[in-house]
A and B are shown apart, each in its own frame.
Chain A
Amino acid sequence: MLFWQILIDGFAISSLYALGATGFTLIFGVTGVLNLSHGAIMVAAAVAAWAASGNFGAGAYLGALSGVVVALVLALATYYLIVRRLQLSRAVREEEKEIFILTATLLWGIMIQEAIAYLFTNNAKTVLPIVDGVVTIFGVRTPANEIFTALVCWATIGALWLFVNRTLAGKAVLAASMNPRGVTLLGIELSTVYVGVWAIYGALAGVAGVLLGMFLGVSSYSAGPLTASAFSIVVLGGLGSVSGSLIAAYVVGYLETLTAYLISPAYRAIPALLLLVAVMYVRPRGLLGRR
């Protein structure tokens, strides 16, 4: 019984972590930007879905959709208003741009977070779930929403995989992550690829945010911890490696669930962080990192 509980719970939470980290690592892998406003964008998506379905009576589906749209808009805003401005700026020295962009996305994230707190208070909110009720699997009473979450996460990640490996546009994205200069020599506009990647990122973060809001609930406070957890999963898996992030998400998810069940829910996050420290010592580039 306990075995199945851990297996099922761990799977749902890990899938959500995986989806959250995928977008984060994709942006880093392709455009070289560590987007520290990641958590704030996820929270914005969840709060938008909550507001649309609760305050404006849009229903669960339309609510979820508006959450994803808000994340998409915010991701593009992050690119056009923050990242691109700094990349094109002449006032900032070339070698300092990376750190400027890092700091700018952090500040942007705080702005989004404060705006959410200002408009919707910092109370925790739960997004209206799309599927209700419970299903019993191997004697474990599992919320149908948990299964739905895992399915959507994997469908989204699968769609991303198909896009990257099976379409021309996707191959351009892959190429841009390997050799940006080579892509431009082939006549592909790099900035178009970047806009596309930020849009994909926005959709991924939006879906992850809305699912998170249905499964666990969010408040404006969640922004920082969400960025931190995506960041540590990505570092554990190897910066820029999508498959590394997926594996790391499951390692972290199961380690947390095991700790919560077998030791104490109070120490849930600790073993995963210890593992991160250990990996940093033994293998600083992460599990599947190339660099």
Chain B
Amino acid sequence: MTPYQPAASRSAVLRLALGAASATLALAIGATAWADDPAPIKIGVIAEAQAVAGSSIPQAAQIAADEINAKGGVDGRKIEIVSYDNHSSSAESVRAFQRAVNEDHVNAVIGSYISEVVLALEPWAGRLKTVFITPGAASDVITQNIAKDYEHNKYTFHGYLTSGALSGLVCDAAKDMLVDGLKMKTAVIMSEDAAWTGPLDAGYEACLPKIGLKVLDHIRFSPDTTDFTPIFNKIEASKPDVIITGVSHVGTQPTVQWKSQQVPIPMFGIASQATNSTFWKDTNGATEGVIYQGVSGPGVAVTPKTLPFVDAFNKKYGNMPSYAGYTAYDDVYIIADAIKRAGSNDGDKLVDAMEKTDYVGTIGRVQFLPKNDPHVHGLRTGPGFITGLMLQWQDGKQVNMWPANLANGKLEFPSFVKIASGGN
């Protein structure tokens, strides 16, 4: 082994140097070749092709591109989607990002629903001066990084709700549905220990008492937890009226064990997997009665664009888009619109144009928060912009409960759930 080592490291250095040289060359050639050519607008899509939430991202982006191209493109330029499977890995995503920019010459990148992946890509968006938008990650740190170092990180846009914003929307819904509707008084927060739940939990802790739900306990568990029996037993011991959830990566287990153990307390909050249309089958129906936050739901016309998109997606791929599918579809339109307004492929000019976005997409009206906001480049939320929905799984279907003007059903719980109206 020893005699080969120097050679190995020498060749590695050589390879690195060659790689850097060819990358520079490629950049130079790319720049000259594009000087005044009506070249297509290339959008890189880096996503988790094997995960349900991620697999919709390139599919939805393609639909948007096809629609724009069918109408003649952007000033005659076609939109071309170049997609990369990142296998849910940050390292592979970074490689894909470098390849997208340096070799495939994309004008912007749409990428990932995993906060950890997006946080790994954020500095690369800055280094390669390429606009990057995530359709599904939720960590507040993404926008905090932009606020901290705007000049370097301004290329990143947060195309989905931050955890802090999510907690606010869950509280808004809890006020109407639980406190005013079911007269609940107490809650236990149950969330997984991950990057995205830090601000979510802080948000819950702050807003739940304000709307009249006393927080009795707060349980954070490891995302690789398999046995939830101890967690539910602990929660039941403190006798809350509701469990406020923050679960995503942990999968089906909490839902399945909630049912199999017949925990008599309803679950309400963020349960990312519950947004998938396959969740009923994945849990063998254990999700009956689970109430979760979403930005979309079957048959819910949040905006006039929502249902036509869902129909197009279903027609082309035979299933329903995941939550990140809606936003990825909108993101292609947002980028195309910004490139049209910027009149240039230049990264800085594109950032300026993106910041002026005012676009009604499939989940509401999209505007990015301005430069001096602590969540700069995050989505504007609240009435008139994005409010989100609160849905419940009922007999194999996702039924919308909130806001009232978009509701298409009434709350129903499985028989083992005891609704403690009036509190105890």
Contacts and interface: CB of A to CB of B under 8 A. Distances in A.
A binds B: yes
Interface string A152-168: 00000000000000000
B263 to A, nearest CB: 9
13 contacts: A5-B233, A9-B233, A13-B227, A121-B51, A123-B252, A123-B276, A124-B250, A124-B251, A124-B273, A125-B252, A145-B260, A217-B251, A217-B283
B262 A141 contact: yes
A61 interface: no
Interface in B244-298: 250-253, 256-257, 260-262, 273, 276, 278, 281-284, 286
Interface string A244-276: 000000000000110011001111110000000
A261 B234 contact: yes
B311 to A, nearest CB: 23
Interface stretch (A35-43, A126-134, A283-291): A126-134
Interface centre among B230, B261, B262 (most CB of A within 10 A): B230
Given A121-B51, A217-B256, A265-B231, A126 B262 contact: no
B284 A126 contact: yes
Given A5-B230, A216-B226, A143 B193 contact: no
B50 A265 contact: no
A225 interface: yes
Contact of A123 (B234, B260, B273): B273
B282 A124 contact: yes
A124 B252 contact: yes
B152 interface: no
Nearest to B225: A265
Contacts, number: 107
B229 interface: yes
Nearest to B260: A143
B219 interface: yes
A122 B282 CA distance: 11
Contacts of B225: 265, 268
Contacts of A13: 227
A116 B159 CA distance: 31
Contacts of B252: 123-126, 217
Contact of B219 (A122, A123, A265): A265
A56 interface: no
Given A217-B253, A260-B227, 15 more contacts: A9-B233, A118-B50, A121-B278, A123-B278, A126-B284, A146-B260, A217-B226, A217-B251, A217-B256, A261-B230, A264-B221, A265-B219, A265-B220, A266-B221, A268-B222
Main secondary structure on chain A at its contact with chain B? mixed
Given A126-B283, A134-B261, A9 B230 contact: yes
Contacts of A133: 262
Interface in A98-119: 117-118
Contacts of B224: 225, 269
**What's the interface size class on A, roughly?**
35 or more
B282 A125 contact: yes
Nearest to B264: A141
B55 interface: yes
A219 interface: yes
A170 interface: no
A219 B88 CA distance: 14
Nearest to B236: A141
A9 B284 contact: no
Interface string A132-148: 11100000111101100
A54 interface: yes
B230 A129 contact: no
Contacts of B221: 264-266, 268
Contact of A260 (B220, B230, B260, B261): B230
B119 interface: no
Contacts of A128: 284
Contact of A219 (B233, B251, B257, B283): B251
Contacts of B260: 129, 132, 134, 143, 145-146
A128 B286 CA distance: 10
B55 A121 contact: yes
Contact of A122 (B88, B261, B276): B88
Contacts of A141: 261-262
A168 to B, nearest CB: 39
B52 interface: yes
A266 B191 CA distance: 10
Contacts of B227: 9, 13, 216, 256-257, 260
Contact of B193 (A55, A125, A266): A266
Interface centre among B51, B225, B226, B278 (most CB of A within 10 A): B226
A13 B219 CA distance: 21
Contacts of B50: 117-118, 121-122, 220
Interface centre among A55, A123, A143 (most CB of B within 10 A): A123
A133 B278 CA distance: 24
Contacts of A126: 252-253, 256, 282-284, 286
A133 B251 CA distance: 22
A146 B253 CA distance: 14
Contacts of B193: 266
A188 to B, nearest CB: 41
Given A5-B230, A265-B230, A54 B51 contact: no
Contacts of B229: 5, 9, 146
Interface in A174-211: none
B284 A54 contact: yes
A225 B225 CA distance: 11
B222 to A, nearest CB: 5
A124 B249 CA distance: 9
